Structure 1
Amino acid sequence: MGEQSSPLAVIKVGGDVLLDPAEKQGLASNVKSLQEHGWQVVLLHGGGPQTNRLQEQLGMTPVKVAGRRVTSEDDLTVVKQAIAGEVNVDLTSLLQSVGVNAFGFHGASGRLVEAVKRPPRVMSGAGPDPVDFGEVGDVTSINGALLSGILSLGIVPVIATLGMESSGRIFNINADTTVVQIAKALKADLLLLTTQVGAVFEDLAKPETRIESITPKSASSLIESGIIQGGMIPKVEEAITLLDEGVGSIAIVSGREPGAFMSVVQHQGKYGTVIHKDN
């Protein structure tokens, strides 16, 4: 299959997935299945739980304001060790163990993710004063040509979420917003946001209330009625903007069940929540 004709999936993997053996094996099996069905795949991961654990081992206390990590210079050292070290190596070797030729690297490699320091900003729930998040950056550009080159070799890029300023300064960056920029730069056919919950539910306690699909029209009423709430609101809103940027569809899904990703690709409706344009 030529580079042009292969569909492309960009997948965001949460650090929590790697703490659960069933989630880990399911993810590896799902990525392999996509590849066997002719898909090109790019993975991007964070590593919040691993960073927290390493900070605790070093006697440091994670600082969060309004649910977002404040990153001091010392914290950034630990973030590099946990995300670009532990998580990136473990995820790359996991994929290799099932026969997926994965290549692990981070945002400073090949100037893959360029970023600038996030300016202090007022955060809801954090009082009236602007919060300085420290060594945290906002993405300004993605080196799509580099990713396309790696993909053309039949290799799966596994990217640790660090960004770099032109001066070489490194930033901790948010995986959810970064994966959106990557999907946009590559005009991905599918963006998969993997979570352990694995879908949007009307009632989390009732698996039968899973919402199979969301369109821009239905999303606004789901937000108004409070079914989509909290951290899921920005995820869904950001996903909807992507549909106008050339990204085919977006799915929130768990990789725990082997075959879940291909099921989403084939529109079977068995797993996750798919976000697509109004028909």
Structure 2
Amino acid sequence: MPLSPDPYAALRNAAKYVKQFRSKTFVVKLGGAVLTDPRTRKAACEQIALLWAFSIRPVVVHGGGPELDSLCDALHLPIEKVAGRRVTSAPVLDAAKMVLAGKLHTDLLADLQAAGVPAVGLSGVDAGLIKARKRPPVLVTEPGETQGRMVDYGLVGDIESVDTRVVEHLRSADYVPVIAPLSGGQDGAVYNTNADTVAAALAAALHAEKLFFLVEVPGLLKDVSDPSSLISLATLSDLASLEAEGRLTGGMRPKAHAMRHALVGGVGSVHLVSGKQSDALLEEVFTNEGSGTMVVREHPVKHGEAKG
């Protein structure tokens, strides 16, 4: 006996999104904080597996900030971040290689494989996927400050080009690329590159339908201390206003720049979704209401219409 007049209503609602997004590219960036807890990481992998099972084409990019901080602590290396971005000395770069292309990367691949995803690990160095140059010293103004200061970020790479051939080759054989945010220079140098920046550049180069950031918070918040102040829909203009008001701090600042780059580069929409809330990614994709924040170039979506 059915327990409701239409027990399959949710399935029917999800089906229209499955049809809409079939064969479309979704770039999913997993934050380091999401990956640190094995249960949270496994749950994220299971959601990505469901997207793949529905013939959505995911590409995964991961960070590793907390794990890298822990390793730097153990190695007695200084941890310095300015405007949400890490200052990377030669020893810190070696630590980043160990984390981003080592244990964290392998554990993520193993969890994806366990969820049924044929994942293949890469870094931006593989086959010249992400070409970069060393970032020159830049002027940085912190929120609340009126004067900026020159910051040398060290061995950090600014992306010059993205060559997606190796990614497309893997995807043509139905593999799911999983990419660590290391980039390569023309001279063979290796650079640490912000994972949000890598995800946005890849999403634009792959003409992705959507770019997802799985983060610790529910989404973009008007008040960072109040999880109930979620902004469900925002535009590039809204992002600029929040940044000007000093509401985007820490790691949200590079995310804002990454979102802007992705949307200007042709990505359909960018989503900030909780990586710790059960099935938040699936809710954002397959329901009208969503679970987090959808960011678009302009306001094509009116109140009461679907976010997806």
TM over 0.5: yes
**Are 2:212 and 1:192 aligned?**
yes
Change (3 A) 1:205 1:69: closer
* Equivalent residue, structure 2, for 1:71: 88
Moved more, 65-74 or 82-91: 65-74
* Equivalent residue, structure 2, for 1:34: 51
1:20-54 deviation digits (Å, cap 9, x = unpaired) = 23421221111011111111111111211111211
**Are 2:196 and 1:176 aligned?**
yes
- Structure with max Cα Rg: 2
Give the SS at the match of 2:138. Answer: coil
Does the 8 A contact of 1:29 with 1:258 survive in 2? no
TM-aligned CA deviation for residue 112 of structure 1: 0.8
- Choose which of 265, 271, 275 in structure 1 pairs with 2:295: 275
Q: Distance in 1 between matches of 2:239 and 2:70?
A: 36
Change (3 A) 1:142 1:197: same
Does the 8 A contact of 1:22 with 1:256 survive in 2? no
TM-aligned CA deviation for residue 207 of structure 1: 3.8
Does the 8 A contact of 2:219 with 2:230 survive in 1? yes
Change (3 A) 1:145 1:220: same
Change (3 A) 1:242 1:274: same
* Equivalent residue, structure 2, for 1:164: 184
Q: Distance in 2 between matches of 1:182 and 1:46?
A: 14
Q: Distance in 1 between matches of 2:151 and 2:227?
A: 38
Q: Distance in 1 between matches of 2:100 and 2:262?
A: 26
Q: Which runs of 5+ in 2 are unaligned?
A: 1-20, 301-308
TM-aligned CA deviation for residue 147 of structure 1: 1.1
Percent of aligned positions that are identical: 35
**Are 2:273 and 1:230 aligned?**
no
Does the 8 A contact of 1:9 with 1:191 survive in 2? yes
Paired residue total? 275
Give the SS at the match of 2:27. Answer: strand
Moved more, 177-186 or 5-14: 5-14
**TM-score using structure 2 length:** 0.81
Does the 8 A contact of 2:63 with 2:181 survive in 1? yes
1:66-121 deviation digits (Å, cap 9, x = unpaired) = 54322121221111011111111111111111111111121111111100000112
* Equivalent residue, structure 1, for 2:172: 152
- Choose which of 122, 134, 140 in structure 2 pairs with 1:123: 140
Q: RMSD between aligned alpha carbons?
A: 2.4
Q: Distance in 2 between matches of 1:191 and 1:230?
A: 21
- Choose which of 265, 268, 273 in structure 2 pairs with 1:253: 273
Q: Distance in 2 between matches of 1:67 and 1:119?
A: 17
Moved more, 123-132 or 86-95: 123-132
- Choose which of 104, 125, 129 in structure 2 pairs with 1:112: 129
Give the SS at the match of 1:26. Answer: helix
**TM-score using structure 1 length:** 0.89
**Are 2:31 and 1:9 aligned?**
no
Alignment of 1:66-105 (within 5 A): 66-105=83-122
Give the SS at the match of 1:208. Answer: coil
Q: Which runs of 5+ in 1 are unaligned?
A: none
